[in-house]
Structure 1
Amino acid sequence: MSTSRDAASSPSSPGNRVLLAYFSRAGENYFNGGRRRLTVGNTEVVAGVIGRLIGCDVHRIEAAEPYPDDYEPTVARNVREQQTDARPGIANPLGSIARYDTVLLGSPIWNVRAPMIMTTFVAGLDFAGKAVHPLTTHAMSRLGTTERDYAAACPGAKLGEGLAVRGEEVAAAEPDVAAWLRRIGLLGR
């Protein structure tokens, strides 16, 4: 599912066109040491809050080969993808981000880094002159290696402050999300 709104009309960011591109996975997820089945992935919950607060364009990155619904097979696939530096296919790639000034890159953190599909997503895009802010949902790794990874994968971008939200806390994260958006200049004071 990909949704889009005209970022140029956002009252919170006049002159600053914002894209929120995110990958999220529902199904069986880690939750406080155990497992919980989610109908909406944690990163999608936070993306929904951001989209509502600032009215930016939102693009949900979808895997061409969907990740398994169960937790353990997803972990195994992720480990294989990380070990082989894989570039999983995207069902709905964006051809360009030229119209945007700021790009928020949202994903879970799997095994201390963003899923490899995020590397696929950024690989073909021109980030020169763009402000890039990572957004992650996690169990314990916070931003993981996203700052380092995006700095390398998005040449010419200005990497800005990221936000990490613990997966178990996404339902109550709006105040932290709003405070972050204010700090990075995307939400009025």
Structure 2
Amino acid sequence: MAKLIVFYSRAGENYFGGQYRWVTVGNTEKAAQMIAEVVGGELFKIQQKVPYAEDYETCIRQAKADQQIHARPELETLPGSLEGYDEIYLGYPNYWGDLPMAVYSFLEAFDWTGKTIRHFCTHEGSGLSGTERKIALAAKGANVAPGLAILGSRVEQAGEEIKRWAMAR
């Protein structure tokens, strides 16, 4: 069966270990691309119809407000179906110990029965923070495999770690 690498990532101004930096490709997208190189599979980027601001401070205010009300932002598009995929890699930045609300929009749109979710997150110190449990609650019926936490500021140096995790069964 084919593999699908789904991810939520944002470019623009990002936080890297105590400082802001402008990036054209977000850290989670970089990790997703590395995973695709290792396992093959199709890439699918989760995108909000109304994206957050490109500047970091405004973005985190918007994302925090959505998190506080448990928003489910409307997405640009969804795959027509997950039939044909038995293994889905799910990537996201860790937002205050949680998934971005757009990831919930994605997870809640499908029946996950019989699917395996292999999740990975980028972060700047908070690791997975219990997101495995949150994925399992949102993706009813899925088998949620152990995840991988990648320091966002070190994603470009994490190739071997990503490869080991992606190849492990």
What is the TM-score with the length of structure 2 in the denominator?
0.96
Counterpart pick for 2:140 among 155, 158, 161: 155
**How many pairs were matched up?**
169
Instruction: Please tell me whether the aligned partners of residues 118 and 144 of structure 2 are also in contact (alpha carbons under 8 angstroms).
Output: yes
Q: Which of the pair is proportionally richer in strand?
A: 2
Cα distance in 2, alignment partners of residues 35 and 176 from structure 1: 25
Q: Matches of residues 94-113 of structure 1 in structure 2 within 5 Å?
A: 94-113=79-98
Cα distance in 1, alignment partners of residues 89 and 129 from structure 2: 16
User: Residue in 2 aligned with 1:18?
Assistant: 3
User: Residue in 2 aligned with 1:62?
Assistant: 47
Instruction: Please tell me whether the aligned partners of residues 114 and 144 of structure 1 are also in contact (alpha carbons under 8 angstroms).
Output: no
Counterpart of 2:151, as a letter, is R
Deviation beyond 4 Å, 4+ runs, structure 1 = none
Residue ranges of structure 2 left out of the alignment (5+ in a row) = none
Q: Secondary structure at the match of 2:92?
A: strand
Of all paired residues, the percent bearing the same amino acid is 37
User: Residue in 1 aligned with 2:105?
Assistant: 120
Q: Secondary structure at the match of 1:147?
A: helix
1:99-129 CA-to-partner distances (Å, cap 9, x unmatched) read: 1101111111111111000000011101001
Higher relative contact order (CA 8 A, sep 6+): 2
Counterpart pick for 1:85 among 70, 76, 80: 70
Residue 17 of structure 1 deviates from its aligned partner by 2.0
Cα distance in 2, alignment partners of residues 95 and 111 from structure 1: 30
Cα distance in 2, alignment partners of residues 46 and 146 from structure 1: 17
Cα distance in 2, alignment partners of residues 106 and 183 from structure 1: 17
User: Residue in 1 aligned with 2:31?
Assistant: 46
Cα distance in 2, alignment partners of residues 70 and 151 from structure 1: 32
1:54-90 CA-to-partner distances (Å, cap 9, x unmatched) read: 2111111111011110011111111111110100111
Whichever of the two has the greater Rg, that structure is: 1
Cα distance in 2, alignment partners of residues 54 and 171 from structure 1: 18
CA RMSD of aligned residues (A): 1.0
User: Residue in 2 aligned with 1:5?
Assistant: none
Instruction: Please tell me whether the aligned partners of residues 96 and 126 of structure 1 are also in contact (alpha carbons under 8 angstroms).
Output: no
